Amino acid sequence: MPNHNVIIGGGPAATNAIETIRQFDGGDSKITLISDEPAHSRMALPYWLSGQVVREHTHTGDDGYFGNLGVETRIGEHVEKIDAKGKKLTLSGGSSLEFDQLLIATGSAPIGLPIPGADLDGVQPLWSLAHTQSALDAVDGVAKPRVVMIGSGFIGFIMLNAMHKRGWQLAVVEREAHVLPRMLNAQAADIAQKWLGRQGVDLHCGTTVSGITASGKAKTVELADGTKLEADLVIVATGVQPNVGFVASSGVDVEEGVPGGIPVNDRMQTNVSYIFAAGDVAKGPVLGSDEKAVHAIQPTAVDHGRIAGANMAGQSITYPGSLSMNILDVCGLQCASFGDWTDTGDTMTIANAEGFIYRSLIWTGDHITGAVFAGRPTDMGMLTDVGMVKGILQTNTAMGPWKQFLAENPFDIRRPYVATKVAQKLAGSTLLGRPAATRQFQFKGAGAASPAVGKSHDLYVSTKQG
């Protein structure tokens, strides 16, 4: 077995790869982790922004954790260059590091906005630990900060929800005709927009920002339609692209642009067999399709990391592919879309705009191949139905006569789910072909390193420790 595994990146793809290597090799290989940020979960940043947890609770691995796993860490260092053939990395500061196998798990980064005023203080993306800190600093001491968010994508809206919880005054500018254009169709988005209006969120769709000016700390965001919005903080949430700049000319194939990414096979190998890629940076297999895609979401990063880790540890485990899915709390309205949700062919839709209800199942023959949901969490079964439809898609289950049943009983997903044995199929399948092992962070009574904020967090942590 090759004995030096080098991992670039400290996100979920990297940490899951490391844990999986150790599950299989029991400590036999040398592992070095290089990450320019501390190991953390971007998914946890909204909870810090909303004040539900403290900054330290977004971190996923400290010296103790990596020490347990026998990992040498080089946190705060940046990889500048890869020499694939020479099996060598160049790091910031000019030092170099040799590897036998390499995992590129460098995630993605926000795309800037080429408009006047984009470089002003208090105009920023909201993607990293540093961005979250600077957003909190920018509004420190302001009683009800005014925030303008440019762009209305999935991640932007997760942060919008966190700011809504804080009671901040929110406005959104979206150049497409409706919010969440890459997650909801027009009808579902219309319901989400009505809901946001009720929550006091000021929406400006179908227009762009022409420039931002500042007078002291206050900013004015000027829209192409002439509207002027006042803000203490402007968030640029106009998309991300994979962090692949340092991979250029390395010998590893890269697709430039958006979404771009590093193409990988079903073992997460790049075109160079001993170099793997995983997570937001990787263009990997898609469930039920011959296409490859970047599905820049946490579950895909975790799956990619585990598959890469198993194969780096000498196993031969293939990935069935990731499912495109977005499940989002839109300031209290639950919205979700799965699979080929843009398909308008064979669909079953029920909608009640006044009741904030939307459900659409998209069919290919007797298979559900896409779905869109919007609804209040208090609606009977809304959240469990979302989970069941996701399971039906993941298992690619033929609905047979249950398709007609769903046409007549669109709110009764439970019966077809049980009758077609989706739960059994899910319970019987494991990503790595063996039962899941206990996560490393739970070992040795490891608990939260800092005090919990609020009772629900306290309860969660104490359950884990038990």
Ligand X SMILES: Cc1cc2nc3c(=O)[nH]c(=O)nc-3n(C[C@H](O)[C@H](O)[C@H](O)COP(=O)(O)OP(=O)(O)OC[C@H]3O[C@@H](n4cnc5c(N)ncnc54)[C@H](O)[C@@H]3O)c2cc1C
Pick the closer one to ligand X by CB: 46 or 416.
46
Which token pair is 399? 């609905």
350: β partners: 359
For the bound state, the minimum distance from the C-beta of residue 98 to ligand X, rounded and expressed in Å, comes to 16
Residue 5 binds ligand X (CB under 6 A): no
Residue 97 binds ligand X (CB under 6 A): no
Residue 46 binds ligand X (CB under 6 A): yes
Pick the closer one to ligand X by CB: 8 or 413.
8
Angle between helices 298-312 and 12-25 (to 10 degrees): 30
- Distance separating alpha carbons of residues 336 and 339, to the nearest angstrom: 11
Stretch that binds ligand X, among 12-20, 316-324, 406-414, 449-457 (CB under 6 A): 12-20
Contact 234, 147 (CB under 8 A): yes
For the bound state, the minimum distance from the C-beta of residue 247 to ligand X, rounded and expressed in Å, comes to 9
Residue 36 binds ligand X (CB under 6 A): yes
Stretch that binds ligand X, among 32-40, 209-217, 339-347, 426-434 (CB under 6 A): 32-40
Contact 122, 147 (CB under 8 A): no
Angle at 247 (CA atoms; ends 4, 154), nearest 5 degrees: 105
Q: Which SS3 state, helix, strand or coil, does residue 12 take?
A: helix
Pick the closer one to ligand X by CB: 46 or 375.
46
Which token pair is 306? 């585990």
- Distance separating alpha carbons of residues 47 and 40, to the nearest angstrom: 13
Residue 11 binds ligand X (CB under 6 A): yes
> In b/e form, how buried is each residue of 309-347, taking b as 16+ CB within 10 angstroms?
bbbbbebebebbbbbbbbbbbbbbbbbbbbbbbeeeeee
Stretch that binds ligand X, among 42-50, 56-64, 248-256, 340-348 (CB under 6 A): 42-50
For the bound state, the minimum distance from the C-beta of residue 101 to ligand X, rounded and expressed in Å, comes to 17
Cis peptide before 259 (omega within 30 of 0): yes
Which of 411, 363, 405, 408 has its CA nearest to residue 385?
411
Give the residue, chosen from 103, 135, 149, 155, that forms a contact with ligand X under the rule CB under 6 A.
155
- Distance separating alpha carbons of residues 321 and 72, to the nearest angstrom: 31
Q: How many residues sit close enough to ligand X to count as binding (CB under 6 A)?
A: 34
Contact 441, 60 (CB under 8 A): yes
Residue 279 binds ligand X (CB under 6 A): yes
For the bound state, the minimum distance from the C-beta of residue 128 to ligand X, rounded and expressed in Å, comes to 7
Pick the closer one to ligand X by CB: 58 or 193.
58
For the bound state, the minimum distance from the C-beta of residue 289 to ligand X, rounded and expressed in Å, comes to 19
Give the residue, chosen from 29, 106, 322, 369, that forms a contact with ligand X under the rule CB under 6 A.
106
Pick the closer one to ligand X by CB: 174 or 280.
280
For the bound state, the minimum distance from the C-beta of residue 159 to ligand X, rounded and expressed in Å, comes to 5
Q: Which SS3 state, helix, strand or coil, does residue 330 take?
A: strand
For the bound state, the minimum distance from the C-beta of residue 22 to ligand X, rounded and expressed in Å, comes to 17
Pick the closer one to ligand X by CB: 102 or 406.
102
Contact 283, 292 (CB under 8 A): yes
Considering only residues 53 to 82 of the shown chain, the ones binding ligand X according to CB under 6 A are: 78-79
- The residues binding ligand X (CB under 6 A) are 8-14, 34-37, 42-43, 45-46, 78-79, 105-107, 127, 155, 158-159, 243, 246, 279-281, 296-299, 301
